[in-house]
Amino acid sequence: MQRCGVDEVSDAFDADEEISLLLVRRDSQNPGVARLRAIAEERGIPVREGSSSDVWRMARDTHDETPEVLALVGRNPDASLEEVLERGGLVWMLAGARYPVNIGFTIRTAEVSGADAVFVDCQLNHSERKAALRASMKAHRFMPVHWVDGSQAIDSAKASGFRVIAVEDSGQADPWDADLTGDVMLIVGGEHDGIPDDMLAASDLVVRIPMSGFVPSYNLQAPMAVVAIEAQRQRADGD
C-alpha cells in the first residue's frame, strides 16, 4: 500500500502504520519532507532517493505535480522467504517461464495488485535476472522477490498454512468461483510447458481462465492479471 505526499505520510506516521520504506524526491527542499525523513531515520526505516521522474512514475496520484515523498506501508521488500510465509497473505509462484521480459511483467503485475511476494522458479543467469527486474520497473524495490526451487517453496508454504492454487487451462473452476482470500500461493506456469506436473499435483485447487478464440492460449501475464485483479477484489471485499 502506498501513502502519497507529505500529508498522507505524516498521517501514516501519526497512526503508527507499518511503514517499511520512504521514497524521497532527490531535489526536494520541503521542510516537511526533511521532517519525515528524520522520523524515518530515527525509527530505522530505510529512505531511498529518486529522481523527479522516478517518483512521478511510482506515485499513485500525481495530479499536476510530482509528490515529494512516498511511503510503502505493510510490506517489507527485504523480507526473507521465511519471513514472508510467517507473515501470511498472498504470494505468487512463477514456474518455468523462459523470457526475462515476461517474467518482469508478471512481477510488476503482482506488485501493482498488492501481492506480498513473488517466488520465481526459472532457469535464468545473472544478466537475465537483471533484465527481468528492469522489465518489472524494478518492482523488487517495493516487494520481496525470491529465486527459489519451486517444489521446496510449495512445501514451505503448505507447512505455513497456505493454500496452493494453480492457474492452468485444465482447471476445474473459474477464478471468481474460487476462494482467493486468506493465506494463498498462486502459481502460473511458463510459456511453453506450463506448470510442472508435480506442482499441479501439490495444488489444492486448479483454476482456469476462460478462452473462446481460435488461438489456444493467452500471453503469460494476461491470465495472471485476471486472477490478480479477482484476488484483489475478493480480499478488498473481505476487509
Class of domain 81-237: alpha beta
Please indicate whether the domains covering 2-73 and 81-237 agree at the CATH topology level: no
pTM, full prediction: 0.88
Confidence band, pLDDT 50/70/90 cuts, at residue 238: low
3-state SS assignment for residue 65: coil
Average pLDDT, the chain: 92
pLDDT tens-digit map of 46-76:
999 989 888 888 887 655 577 899 999 989 9
pLDDT at position 60 is 76
Confidence band, pLDDT 50/70/90 cuts, at residue 190: confident
DSSP code, position 215: S
Confidence band, pLDDT 50/70/90 cuts, at residue 197: very high
| Domain ranges, ordered by start, for the chain | 2-73, 81-237
3-state SS assignment for residue 107: helix
Q: Which residue has the cell 527459489?
A: 148
How far apart (Å, rounded) are the C-alpha atoms in residues 135 and 102? 8
**What is the largest distance, in Å, between two alpha-carbon atoms of the chain?**
59
- The structural architecture, per CATH, of the domain 2-73 is 2-Layer Sandwich (3.30)
pLDDT at position 239 is 60
**Phi/psi at 210 (5° precision):** -60, 140
**Residues whose CB is less than 8 angstroms from the CB of residue 22 and which lie 6 or more positions away in sequence, other chains included:** 9, 36, 37, 40, 45, 46, 47, 48, 69, 70, 71, 72
- Residue 227 pLDDT exceeds 70: yes
